[in-house]
Structure 1
Amino acid sequence: MEHITSTPTVKTPAERFTGDVYLNLIEAPAAPAHLAVGHVRFTPGARTNWHSHANGQTLHITDGVGLVGTREGHVVRASAGETIKCPPGEEHWHGATDTTFMAHIAIVVGDSGGDGTTWLEPVTDEQYESALGATS
């Protein structure tokens, strides 16, 4: 058994996120499971870049209201207690609404090369505004 009393909060890198986003890493990917788990907090309007995961991603909203969008234009508005599953290879983004904070537990099963995430370009303000309008 290992008891981890706390992990430091780090600000996420600007090249992967728009706005202020903070991460507490719960589990780093390591053999044999390559499980990555983080508690991620988004300020209003903050969001990830477009990205995908080789083995998919599960997002469990712990606080506030968030958005998850796909390249095909499908957008889900999710509240605390709800879970979103993104399938392997699906390009998507997630973040807070423009008026609320949002926090989620992000769960990814990576591979021997890391967490299996492919980071892409930022979500534009127009794409974000469109997602807000589609779910209001």
Structure 2
Amino acid sequence: MAQNINRASAASPGPASNFSGSVQVTMLVAANPETDCIVSSVTFEPKARTFWHTHPNGQLLVVTKGTGYYQEKGKPIQIIHEGDSVTIPPQVTHWHGANPSGQFTHIAINPNVSKGGAVIWLQAVTDVEYNKVH
């Protein structure tokens, strides 16, 4: 295997078809045959969040800044902090994003993308769902 140095892309807005609120996505590692994963840094402004979604091969989130929310369908919202990581099994419906008062950034690692892709987007997380922090 040849060594490869990847340069991060410029941040781009997260599409309104997948995110609510202001989100910036920086691609750190694009899909490639050597690692078969996608790695990105995602920054959420206060209250911004993903839509509900699943990952065919799971996902790993590593929180690098701030405090955010993570929720699996049918379970309570979990508060996640800088330094935390979340291992998301394949096909688990979930969302993640910022709390109401601060910016939140995580690294998202999507493995085995050649075996089913990285993400399947579903519907938006409603304000009622977002505000159910216990």
TM-score w.r.t. length of structure 2: 0.91
C-alpha root-mean-square deviation of aligned residues, in Å?
A: 1.5
> 1:24 aligned to 2:26?
yes
Higher percent of residues as helix: 1
**Distance change (3 Å), C-alpha of 1:72 and 1:14:** same
**Correspondence for 2:126:** 124
> 1:87 aligned to 2:93?
no
Residue 29 of structure 1 contacts residue 110 of structure 1 at CA under 8 Å; is this kept in 2? no
SS in 1 for 2:130: helix
Query: Which amino acid is the alignment partner of residue 118 of structure 2?
Result: G
Write out per-residue CA displacement over residues 76-133 of structure 1, whole angstroms, 9 at most, x where no aligned residue.
1011011011111000000000001100000011432663311000000000001xx3
Q: CA deviation at 1:6?
A: 4.0
Unpaired runs of at least 5, structure 2 = none
TM-score w.r.t. length of structure 1: 0.90
CA separation in 1, counterparts of 2:7 and 2:114?
27
Residue 8 of structure 2 contacts residue 27 of structure 2 at CA under 8 Å; is this kept in 1? no
**Distance change (3 Å), C-alpha of 1:30 and 1:114:** farther
**Correspondence for 1:65:** 67
Unpaired runs of at least 5, structure 1 = none
CA separation in 2, counterparts of 1:126 and 1:112?
36
SS in 1 for 2:31: coil
Q: 1:7 aligns with which of 6, 9, 34?
A: 9
Query: Which amino acid is the alignment partner of residue 35 of structure 1?
Result: C
